[in-house]
Amino acid sequence: MLPTFMPVATQAAIKGLTPEQVESLGVSLILNNTYHLNLRPGLEVLRAAGGAHKFQGWNRNLLTDSGGFQMVSLSKFTTITEEGALFESPFTGEPTILTPEESIAIQHTIGADIIMQLDDMHKVSSLTVGPRVEEAMERSVRWLDRCISHHQSSGKTDTQNLFAIVQGGLDSDLRDRCLDEMIKRKDGVAGFAIGGLSGGEEKDIFWRVIRQCTGKLPEDRPRYSMGIGFAEDIDDANTEGLSKHAKDLRPIDDTCPCPTCTDGTSRAILHHTVTHETAAAHALTLHNITFQAQVMGRARTAIMNGIFPDYLRSFFAEYFGDDGYPEWCVNALRTVGVDLLENNNAKVIQGDGAKWEYAASMARQ
Amino acid sequence: MPSGLQFTLAHSDHAAQFGPRLGTLILRRPNGCEITLDTPTLLTSTSRGVVSHLSRDHVRQSSAIRWVHVPFETFLEQSPPVPTLQTGPHPLHRFLGFVPQDHILSTSVRDPDDVRQMPPNGPNYLAANSLRGVRKITPNEWRTYTDKIQPDFVIALTDTPHTPPPFSQKRLTKSIERSSAWLASLLSPVVSAVTPTASTDLTATDLSQAPTNASDIAATKPAVLVHLAGAASHPARSAFAAALLEPLSDIERASIGGLPTLDAGVAGYTIDLAPLRIAISSSPVSPPASSDINPSTNITSSLSALLQTSLTRLPRTKLRLIYGTLGPHDALHLLRDVGTDVLNASWALHAAHVGVSLDFVFPAPTRDTSPTIEGDSAALQPLGRNLYAPQYALDFAGLSTSGNTCECAACAPHMPDTRIVHGSDASEEADAYVRARRAASASADQANDGGDDDSSANLRNPSYTRAYLHHLLHTHEMSAHALLALHNLAVAEAFLQGVRTVLASSGGVDRFANEVARFEAYYAEESLTVGAPREEGEKGGIMAEARAMWAQVELARGKGRLAREKERAVAGGTEAEP
Ligand SMILES: [Zn+2]
Ligand SMILES: [Zn+2]
């Protein structure tokens, strides 16, 4: 059921909610972070529990990353060698190596439905252009081979789906070469993720890369656009915004189907409890997850009904109407034949706009 | 007592003024819906209007949460208090998300557990505590607010001194006078002369005074409870009870709608233990009025003696609500020695807050045959587990010792009944999943016993494990506390269910005393309340251990969190994690 919204359960829990609550919100896929689960509870516990699904009581789909990204960003030093990523153990300070085989083995123990290859990334911002990008791209292809081979020899292909990660930074030639190589390995993978983007790059360029990849990837494999998230946790925005609502008895959004809004939880009681009571955080999380899943669900419906351009136009009008449309979104969508400004004289603003990530997840369709 | 309310004690032949009581409380709402609670019943406390750690859906799933108490003082931060702006029927229920068909709401100005020092109350106002500092509230304002928010029970303002004890006789006299005057103010009719009708225990004459039909009264006037004032002084407590029972002059009667006494207007009595404990521990207890009660240096027996002094002349058939027990032992002693119908269990939530899962039952298990928390079956058992402790990292058992069945959402989670649909095709996907689960559970059933075909009851997920809770606690995940709160409240309610079952059996009162003794011989007594004064020589148990580990994780994770917030702030975002 794609596209879908995937909440992040870094530590095998989603911000104060129980898995039953998350499921009741209509969520069917969550993300666990391999790096974090490897530290806590650790593989011994996960193995004894029979995997992360059972450990956290989540019966639906689960996705894990390779663990490499957090290792690179959270460790003091990391060196990439052909063998793997060398880093300082957070436990002992000893040099430790994460190989492609090790990453897959860890993900096998966690047992997620969708697992990721280990790819070569350095501190990501420095890796979107330059000679190191080519080296990383080529190594990621070689590591994909090692991941596929380890995955197949472990006999886990029936229960866990391995995704390749397309690298190549912002260089369109490198992206093409990477796409070609990885598509050749299509039979060994269940889907493709688009990596090597930091989210910090120019949005026009970012979007061009996404489009280049989606244009080329095989239709019969799902795609996962990494690093695209919903910008704000809406509770942060609301924490700010709620201060104006001390006596406002309306819910956050009276058209929202979440338990918080349908119960009529007022902005006033949220204002009264937010930052003091975890129950207020739970109420906001129930709303946020529902809101984000709704955005994705409506997009999916629009795609199926062939009215995605209309959906985009109404989404932009609703979401960016007052603040102005980011220019890059307007440009990007125009190149795929969607004119956001058709019958609409909305304000267009330079730069990202505060809410660009929403637009990004739309644009990648 | 408004006639929408009915409280009946069982064993009405057993007319002892003190001792364990079994009863039924029925609240009939004007729209015909009825809430029935068997007493002694559990009262769940709120903080800023919410049950700590629980979202509204969790509150509704919890069968332990039936009577909810709302300290109102934090709402004095806004003027007028926001709940008074809520429109429609049952405004307080609606504002806080409680369900009129399921939840009884009571409210007091102060949090009865809050014993921090406060500026003194005035002759015509109470000093209340809010985030914006001390707020003064007059008896008139309290009546106006509570008439608007329509709780089921309102506790009259009471002048409990929150200045350092001991209290002079002059201070106590003032306290009693103010508390009675403030009660009279709450009882005085607002617009038309609506008189609270008598409770079922009063005579037929009293009942006939009801001027209008029952539903009108229930809709307009909450039942009034009065706090038994007098601090740690036996003479003062006697004097306050006497003031409640004193026949009123004609003028006084007229001002409170014709009631013969103040007591005739109240549905029951409340006792706040927390300030009383402070008063006892910092002043020598004056001797009880009746000479047959020996004052003891032990706080619990001092408490019992003081409560008995207050209650000795008051009608035994009215509701008694005790707020501030420290744990099950304390609760049992008060049930046995004084007798109460409503008990709060803030300790269940305190324990959840510091990572303790409660695990005790009443009657206590039989020693030789039952699995125990501590290996040595002869030793006194702890009341639960500190799930921070390393031995739970690989413990995949549920929260209760095997044999203690718990039906809470942590021990017996159910697959959700409904899912929100996102996108037109999502319901098909969800339906397919539910069908698959049903099919799997049906075939598992056949394989197991070939019997039970109640498939929806079987769409139950396994209990959350100690290992998972241990992980959540160490990773500072809030869902640990939600699951523990649900479980601990269920344990507290099951404990009271056990009390009721024993009392309902033949020879219940005597059997109860035996079972209390067995409970004491089985479980180690420990205060489960954060911040309660320790008795001398009391050792730290699971709570002390858990508190220390909780603080460590809070410090380590809290630090990390602050650093992350700082990073995000630098990156231009804002972050305000609760
Ligand atoms: Zn909502
Ligand atoms: Zn339980």
Shortest CA distance to B47 belongs to which of B129, B121, B104, B162?
A: B129
For the CA of A291, the nearest ligand: 1
Interface test with A, best of B94, B394, B420, B465 (most A CBs within 10 A): B420
Tell me if residue A193 falls in helix, strand or coil: strand
Yes or no, beta carbons of B55 and A286 under 8 Å apart? yes
What is the percent of chain A with per-residue pLDDT over 70, rounded to a whole number? 85
Task: Decide: residue A84, CB within 10 A, 0-12 exposed, 13-18 middle, 19+ buried.
Answer: buried
Topology of domain A19-225 in CATH is TIM Barrel (3.20.20)
What is the percent of chain B with per-residue pLDDT over 70, rounded to a whole number? 80
Q: Of B108-112, B292-296, B416-420, B434-438, which gets the smallest average pLDDT?
A: B292-296
Q: How far is A85 from A67, CA to CA, in rounded Å?
A: 10
Closest CB to B578: pick one of A24, A41, A280: A280
Determine the pLDDT at residue B435.
85
Q: What phi and psi values does residue A165 have, to the nearest 5 degrees?
A: -120, 115
Yes or no, beta carbons of B471 and A41 under 8 Å apart? yes
Please give the CATH architecture assigned to the domain spanning B5-344.
Answer: Alpha-Beta Barrel (3.20)
Cα distances (angstroms) measured from residue B184 to each of A203, B110, B189, B206, B463: 70, 19, 10, 18, 51
Determine the pLDDT at residue A2.
63
Interface test with B, best of A30, A236, A250, A278 (most B CBs within 10 A): A278
Determine the pLDDT at residue B290.
47
The structural domains of chain B, with segments of one domain joined by +, span 5-344, 414-461
Determine the pLDDT at residue B422.
87
Q: Which two tokens stand for residue A108?
A: 């096998």
CB atoms within 10 A of CB B311: 22
pTM: 0.89
- Any idea what the Cα angle at residue A206 is, between residues A205 and A212, rounded to 5°? 85
Quick one: pLDDT band at residue B539, thresholds 50, 70, 90?
Answer: low
Distance, in angstroms, between B70 CA and closest chain A CA? 14
Nearest chain A residue to B421 by CA distance is A26
For the CA of B64, the nearest ligand: 2
pLDDT tens profile B93-128: 999 999 999 999 999 999 999 999 999 999 999 999
Average pLDDT, integer, range B473-487 = 97
Asked if the interface predicted TM-score (ipTM) of this complex is over 0.95, the answer is no
Q: How far is A44 from B501, CA to CA, in rounded Å?
A: 44
Phi/psi region, residue A274 (left: phi>0; alpha: psi -120 to 50; beta: rest), is beta
Quick one: pLDDT band at residue B234, thresholds 50, 70, 90?
Answer: very high
Q: Of A295-309, B207-221, B460-474, B533-547, which gets the smallest average pLDDT?
A: B207-221
More confident call, B383 vs A337: B383
Nearest chain B residue to A283 by CA distance is B55
A16 DSSP assignment: T
Buried (b) or exposed (e) across B532-559, using 16+ Cβ within 10 A? bbeeeeeeebbbebbbebbeeeeeeeee
CB atoms within 10 A of CB B7: 22
Residues around ligand 2, an ion, CB closer than 5 A = B 406, 408, 410-411, 487, 490
Residue B291, pLDDT above cutoff 90: no
Yes or no, beta carbons of A296 and B418 under 8 Å apart? no
Q: Which two tokens stand for residue A175?
A: 């992206």
Contact list, A236 vs chain B (CB under 8 Å):
573-576
Strands (DSSP E) along B115-164, which ranges?
Answer: 126-130, 133-137, 153-155
Yes or no, beta carbons of A55 and B467 under 8 Å apart? yes
Q: Judged by CB atoms within 8 Å, which residues 382-441 of B form the interface with A? A: 393-394, 396, 409, 413-426, 429-430, 433, 437
Q: Hey, which residues does A349 pair with through a beta bridge? A: A326
Where does chain A hold its CATH 3.20.20.105 domain(s)? 19-225
Interface test with A, best of B427, B431, B479, B568 (most A CBs within 10 A): B479
> Is residue A365 a contact partner of residue A3, using CB atoms and an 8 Å limit?
yes
Average pLDDT, integer, range A21-26 = 96
Strands (DSSP E) along B15-114, which ranges?
Answer: 23-28, 34-39, 41-45, 67-71, 104-108
Distance, in angstroms, between B343 CA and closest chain A CA? 23
Closest CB to A18: pick one of B51, B421, B483: B483
Shortest CA distance to B104 belongs to which of B54, B57, B179, B39?
A: B39
